[in-house]
Chains A and B, each alone.
Chain A
Amino acid sequence: MKGSLLALVIGAAAIAVLGTSYALSQFAFVATWAIAGLGLSLILGQAGQISLGHGAFLGIGAYVEGALAVAGWPAWASFPLAVLVAAAAGWVAALPGRRLGGMAFAMSTLAIALLVEEALVRWEGLTRGAAGLAIPPLQLFGQTVSGPLGQFVVSALLLLVAYGCCRRWVGSRLGRAWRAVRDDEVAAAAVGIDCGALRSLAFVLGAGMAGLAGALYAHWLAYLSPEQFGLQLSFELLMLVFIGGVGRLSGAIWGAAVFVALPQLIALATDLLPARWAAASGTETMAFGVLIVLIILLRPGGIAGGRRQGRREAG
């Protein structure tokens, strides 16, 4: 409750200070990134799997939606398909998890990220390869969603739906089983939990959410190129979840806010510096790094996780 109020205050202040369209544009990207973060939160925070290739699922969702939108498919058909294809890719990515564990499995997800990026370059018929793919604006109920307000409303609504689903899953028997597998796999198996199937399910759901975020991203950016979905994106998403708070779903939203909005706030603050300092290359990157380190030092459990390394829990 306190967190929601704080978020509301921050949101209102952002609109007042930044101006409506700039602030709403930021919120749209925060909500989109939060959806992807929620997916990774299920995989990492609940099922205890490290995924180093989450950006690849986002890329798959983006390209499926992009290609279908270019082909003239309506959003009500293309969005679910983008989610389904990304989820299917998640299932494939989870297959090595039946035999591999820990870092060995994490490495296999890294391979998936590399494979997907390469496939996006090579599959020119669909992706236009390295030349990139221009995406038309989102059409919803006969309306074109191209302005920041529309983008924000659509992203926020889908984030609400995604958050609601995740809350339901982690609060249910499924969530308890995931946490049992995460905390002690042997004990979980001893009480009859199918650990492999549960981990796969976390991957399928998490990848599906990344696919949904990717589908939104494709329209908000209007141009896709394979390099946008490289390893850097996967690591960015991983950091987003850790910074936000790995064990809490709300951490994904906080993490997204930090990753999307903080660099913008730093850019605004840099404008106030003397020209010589502001012009120095890397000032903003350095400030971002320092702030991230401070967040980690002050809140090791993530922004939503409290001052001390908190218990990993749902909610």
Chain B
Amino acid sequence: MKRLVSLLGACLALFAGSAAAATPGVTADQIRVATIQDLSGPIAILGAPIRDGMVMRFDEENERGGVHGRKLRIAVEDSGYDPKKAVLATRKLLQRDGVFAFLGDLGTPVVMATMPIIVGAGRPHLFPFSPHEATYQPLDPLKFQLFAPYQDYMSAAVQEMVRNNGYKRVGLLYQDDDYGLEVMKGVEAGLARLGQTLVEKTGYKRGATDFASQIARLRAAGCDFVVLATVVRETVGAVSEARKLGWNVDMLVTASGYSAQTHELGGKAMEGLYGVSVMPHPYPAGANERLGEWIERYRTRYDAEPNVWSVMGYNVADVFIRGLRGAGRDLTVASFVHAMENLSTTRDFFGGPAYHFSAQDHLGNRHGRLARIEGGKWVLISDYLK
């Protein structure tokens, strides 16, 4: 019995010693990171291209020899948008895979349930796909966010639209969840700056397919401009309903509706729809040389067309790699955080925004730009709105 206890003690001491000595997930020749995506749940349509974009960027870096001689490995877990599954996946990734950081986790419930565990374990929680401000506020050394919060850029976008087009009666159709509420706050804040309020706001439950009553209500309120806090299918449903009734009101959808699927599914009825773009859609036609090459590489690799989510996944991995480069060969969580807090990027070949981080601000970008569907594709009509 005594021997067993001493053996156990020795094992524990060894484990504790080895754990304290090295940075988790970092060895002499590789860096292991993790991402929790929805690959089988309600937003799997976003999760798969995000993952593919990330993996593609990592593989490119590995082909060039990795970062400071270390190859990048990414462990992908499927949460199915279930926070319970995500919590278990997080424990697995922390304990079994011993990853260095979590990158681009998808979905607010998933992010909010797993973030305290990740940060509690001392690992960086980077660039999650969630509009929740808890992903970068209050300031925490381990939390970094890349994506503009809906509130900020929708406020700017609505102000720009109202100023340019002189709308007097603005309405809102919103999804009845955290996403819709964030957008509503942004729209109300933007209008307040112009001395206006929403004349009508009407919600729908996620998954709704019929928007007849909501559109009728907005029309009855005499709206001359309608903001859509909708996702792709709902955007198509709402705009089609309005056009079917012969109501050609100007409509502006958030970045969640800024997707090639919106005009692919909605067809002609989507012409003239305004949208906010945080990251441009990678259209092959009219692409610059580097973007054209990138699209071709993506197609060859995945036998699929890239979309805005693939670009975002690629972008997340790219900014992470820049942070790793800045941290140098002697990579620890502290050296990585220090490098991230001094990171500034320039505009890339996708036409995305420049990101700036500092010790006081861990949100890389707050801006979006306006786009419009013209001739069956999104056309950017403004630069990033400051």
Contact = CB atoms under 8 A, between A and B. Distances in A.
A281 B113 contact: no
A26 interface: yes
A267 B92 contact: yes
A22 B80 contact: no
B271 to A, nearest CB: 32
B76 interface: yes
Max chain A Cβ within 10 angstroms of own Cβ: one of B39, B84, B94, B120: B84
A267 B95 contact: no
Contacts of B84: 29, 217, 221, 260
Nearest to A226: B177
Nearest to A17: B96
Nearest to B83: A221
A126 to B, nearest CB: 16
B95 A19 contact: yes
A264 B88 contact: yes
A129 B96 contact: no
Interface in A20-57: 20-22, 25-26, 29
Interface residues of B, number: 39
Contacts of A121: 176-177
A26 B88 contact: yes
Main secondary structure, interface of B, reads helix
Interface in A212-255: 217, 220-223, 225, 227-228
A217 B82 CA distance: 13
Interface in A103-140: 121, 129-132, 134
Nearest to B75: A271
A223 B39 contact: no
A271 B185 CA distance: 42
A21 B112 contact: no
Contacts of B113: 221-223
B209 to A, nearest CB: 16
A278 to B, nearest CB: 8
Nearest to B44: A281
Contact of A132 (B44, B55, B75, B109): B109
A130 B77 CA distance: 25
Interface string B31-52: 0000000011000100110010
A186 interface: no
A285 interface: yes
B88 A260 contact: yes
A77 B308 CA distance: 50
Interface in B83-104: 83-85, 87-89, 91-92, 94-96
Contacts of A228: 83, 109
Main secondary structure, interface of A, reads helix
A96 interface: no
Contacts of B179: 130
B76 A279 contact: yes
B189 to A, nearest CB: 16
A25 to B, nearest CB: 4
Contacts of A225: 108-109, 112, 177-178
A271 B96 CA distance: 12
A263 B85 contact: yes
Nearest to A232: B82
A18 interface: yes
B48 to A, nearest CB: 5
A40 B176 CA distance: 30
4 tightest A-B CB contacts, nearest first = A223-B112, A285-B40, A130-B177, A25-B91
23 contacts: A18-B92, A21-B95, A22-B88, A26-B88, A130-B176, A130-B179, A130-B181, A131-B178, A132-B178, A134-B134, A221-B113, A222-B113, A223-B109, A223-B113, A225-B177, A225-B178, A227-B109, A227-B206, A260-B84, A264-B85, A267-B77, A267-B92, A282-B44
Interface of A: 18-22, 25-26, 29, 121, 129-132, 134, 146, 148, 217, 220-223, 225, 227-228, 260, 263-264, 267-268, 271, 279, 281-282, 284-285
Interface of B: 39-40, 44, 47-48, 51, 55, 75-78, 80, 83-85, 87-89, 91-92, 94-96, 108-109, 112-113, 116, 120, 132, 134, 176-182, 206
